[in-house]
Structure 1
Amino acid sequence: MFGLSNSIRVYLAVEPVDLRKSFNGLHGVVLDRLNEDPCSGALYVFTNRRRNRIKTLYWDGTGMWVAIKRLEKGCFSWPKGVAANEKLDLAPEALALLLDGVDLKQGSFKPWYQRCFFLHFSCS
């Protein structure tokens, strides 16, 4: 994952979002459902119903960024909410753990997560 500053605010949308949405659609979700300003400099994180993809929306001061991650198998351990338009305020470190397969509630890796060990060979 790309590096995040410790000072960045991260908001996670608890309810699934139609991830066919891109810049304008996610901008509308942030305004209408999360009641936030998409141009505030915060990172907004969304998932689909199957929780196997996430999309982020971020304003860097000069333009809007959209990034997506798709799991090849399994699903993200997405927190459950009680309100339809609920959002969670996450620390950047918690987002990194969530994206790496850690179940934030149990503090353990999801079954789909496997560490990969790479052998480095020299071609000389």
Structure 2
Amino acid sequence: MLKDADHSYFAGVYIVCGYTDLHFGIDSLAAIIERRFHMNLFVPNTLFLFCGRSSTKIKGLLWEGDGFLLLYKRVESGHFTWPRFSNDLRSLSAEQFHWLMQGFAIDPVIHDITPDTST
């Protein structure tokens, strides 16, 4: 479902960077979004994604207007490339969401540089 999901269905897609305890259920994951990031959870079709210590498993929390949907995905081969070095909440573009679901990094690996030519 997530791998082939049409990003236009979602009002927004956010990832919680760093590690999240995937033993948490709907209430605990919702509390993280509300308390740590001060986000409104009740915007229909807004997807929040969480990753635990194992990069092969993610959870998603989605408000559908009448209740929460808790998603759990475990890949059998490969892993998700997840930003681990911060505790931020990041918004994903459609392209980044597609990359993440395909196992690619959401940030470009190659960066443009401007060499110092003054020496």
Q: Which residue of 2 aligns with 1:63?
A: 67
Listed as ranges, the matches of 1:1-124 within 5 Å are 1=2, 2-5=5-8, 8-41=11-44, 42-82=46-86, 84=87, 86-106=88-108
Q: Structure 1 residues 87 and 73, CA, compared in 2 at 3 Å: closer, same or farther? A: same
Q: Structure 1 residues 58 and 6, CA, compared in 2 at 3 Å: closer, same or farther? A: closer
Q: Tell me which moved more, 4-13 or 43-52.
A: 4-13
Q: Given that residues 6 and 92 in structure 1 are in contact (C-alpha distance below 8 angstroms), is that contact kept between their aligned partners in structure 2? A: no
Q: Structure 1 residues 62 and 39, CA, compared in 2 at 3 Å: closer, same or farther? A: same
Whole-angstrom distance in 2 between the partners of 1:81 and 1:101: 18
Q: Which residue of 2 aligns with 1:122?
A: none
Whole-angstrom distance in 2 between the partners of 1:105 and 1:55: 20
**What's the offset of the Cα at 1:69?**
0.8
**What's the offset of the Cα at 1:34?**
2.4
Task: List runs of 5+ in structure 2 lacking aligned partners.
Answer: 110-119
Q: TM-score, normalised by structure 1?
A: 0.73
SS of equivalent residue, structure 1 residue 103: coil
Task: List runs of 5+ in structure 1 lacking aligned partners.
Answer: 108-124
Q: TM-score, normalised by structure 2?
A: 0.75
Note the aligned Cα RMSD (angstroms).
2.0
Q: Structure 1 residues 7 and 59, CA, compared in 2 at 3 Å: closer, same or farther? A: closer
Which structure carries more helix by proportion? 2
SS of equivalent residue, structure 1 residue 5: helix
